[in-house]
Amino acid sequence: MPARDDTRRDAPRFETGPAVRFESVGMRYGRGPEILRDVSFELPRGSFQFLTGPSGAGKSSLLKLIYLAERPSRGLISLFGRDTALTDAKSLPAIRRRIGVVFQEFKLLNHLTVFENVALPLRVAGQPRRAYAEDVAELLAWVGLGERMDAYPPTLSGGEQQRASIARAVVGQPEILIADEPTGNVDPAMARRLLRLFAELNKLGTTVLIASHDVGLVRSMDAPVMELADGRLAAGARAA
Quote the pLDDT of residue 15.
Answer: 67
Q: Name the band, by pLDDT with cuts 50, 70 and 90, for residue 49.
A: very high
Q: Name the band, by pLDDT with cuts 50, 70 and 90, for residue 24.
A: very high
Quote the pLDDT of residue 111.
Answer: 97
Quote the pLDDT of residue 217.
Answer: 82
Collapsing DSSP states into helix, strand and coil, what is residue 24? strand
Q: Does the structure show a pLDDT above 70 at 97?
A: yes
Q: Which DSSP state fits 238?
A: B
Quote the pLDDT of residue 8.
Answer: 44
Residue 169 and residue 104 in contact, taking contact as beta carbons nearer than 8 Å: no
Q: Name the band, by pLDDT with cuts 50, 70 and 90, for residue 60.
A: very high
What share of the chain in percent tops pLDDT 90?
A: 68
Quote the pLDDT of residue 14.
Answer: 53
Q: Does the structure show a pLDDT above 90 at 89?
A: no
The secondary structure of 68-129 as a DSSP string is TSS--SEEEEEETTEEGGG--GGGHHHHHTTEEEE-TT----TTS-HHHHHHHHHHHTT--H
- Tell me the per-residue pLDDT of 132-154, one tens digit each, with 9 for 90 and over: 999 999 999 999 999 999 999 99
State the Cα–Cα distance between residues 94 and 23, nearest whole angstrom.
Answer: 23
pLDDT: is 16 or 182 the higher one?
A: 182
Quote the pLDDT of residue 35.
Answer: 94
- Does this model's pTM top 0.85? My answer is yes
Please state which CATH number belongs to domain 46-70+93-234: 3.40.50.300
Residues whose CB falls within 8 Å of the CB of residue 115, separated by 6 or more in sequence, listed in order: 136, 137, 140, 149, 150
Residue 136 and residue 143 in contact, taking contact as beta carbons nearer than 8 Å: no
Average pLDDT, the chain: 89
